[in-house]
Chain A
Amino acid sequence: MPNTDVALRFVGLENKMSLDEYNFEHFRTKHLLSDAKATVEERGIKPGELAPDFELPRVGGGSLRLSELQGKPVILHFGSFS
């Protein structure tokens, strides 16, 4: 991950999960509860805030930096393959 806003924020992130916690082997009740808690706490980037910039590899080749899309609205969805 290049030195982007996201990488800097991640260092000081509260509720940060370790690599094994994040990539869990089995879906458990604690994951449901964690999602419910995160929803109640409105965890994430607050409306009105600048969306933290990131650069990620693109399927099909190359990479994309979020700030490259500035000037146009963006729908940014986070989803799992399973």
Chain B
Amino acid sequence: MHRNWNGEVEFVDVVIRQAHPGPRVPAYHSFEQKMRDGERYKREDDIAWTVLVDDLPGTTHQVYGGLADPTYIIDAKGRVAFYSMWTHAPTLHTSLEMLRTQGWRGVVGGGVDKTPHLAAAMTDGWKGLRRGLPQSLIDIETASPTVGISTWLGYQLRPLTAPMTLRAKPLPASAKIGLGVGAAAMLFLSARALIRDRSGYGSERRRIRMRPRRRQ
């Protein structure tokens, strides 16, 4: 996303509290500790834009809603144009395009996106979670069983799923139509197989197929 908009839009990241503390990433007790993690974040995740570090009580984060992973688009006049409560790059991309057509001013796309966008979290969430192992995994499995394991699994499938789940732009219309047709075909074939099984038509055919041939 940064590659697509760099030069036109300023990117700013604010480091907030530990979301999934663990032995190597304990809850913050000093600002220096938080700043060190900010430096690691910029280095390890190869962040090319500005990274700021919030204070220990999370003053800025709490005033801006205190959510786990939100992103705001602020227009050229310093007003909130869009608020993605669960950061989703394709939605932000569309909103930026709309804002550009409005001369970088005003509210776009209804102003708020509240969708949790779980597919992206399942693909990329393990990156943060693994920093706090093993405590982070035990905690999340206790708080919400199967979420930690699913996140691990999602990360393993990343080479296959990332082009879909972590894309920076929305899917083109042709891809959406293709996916829709594929899903409808799968649904149709499953329903047909189910109806055949229930009516006994399929099993009768299988029986006929399995009957041994008589020797002539």
Contacts and interface: CB of A to CB of B under 8 A. Distances in A.
Contacts of B59: 1, 6-7, 10, 54
Interface in B75-113: 75-83, 85-87, 92, 96, 99, 104, 107, 111-112
Contacts of B55: 1, 56
A50 B20 contact: no
B129 A82 contact: yes
Chain B residues touching A, range: 35 or more
Given A15-B66, A26-B139, A48 B107 contact: yes
Interface stretch (B10-18, B167-175, B181-189, B201-209): B10-18
Given A17-B58, A44-B64, A51-B78, A29 B10 contact: no
Interface string A42-59: 111111111111101111
Contacts of A9: 63
Contacts of A32: 143-144
B35 to A, nearest CB: 7
A49 B80 contact: yes
B111 A47 contact: yes
Contacts of A1: 55, 59-60
A76 B71 contact: yes
B84 to A, nearest CB: 9
Contacts of B197: none
Contacts of A54: 59-60, 63
Contact of A47 (B16, B92, B112): B112
A76 B48 CA distance: 14
A72 B10 contact: yes
A24 B50 contact: no
25 contacts: A1-B55, A1-B59, A13-B62, A17-B58, A22-B17, A28-B143, A32-B143, A32-B144, A42-B85, A42-B114, A47-B107, A47-B111, A51-B74, A59-B42, A66-B78, A72-B104, A73-B104, A74-B72, A77-B72, A77-B87, A78-B14, A78-B64, A79-B87, A80-B19, A82-B131
* Among all A-B residue pairs, the 8 with the closest Cβ atoms: A44-B65, A47-B111, A80-B19, A56-B52, A59-B51, A81-B37, A74-B74, A27-B139
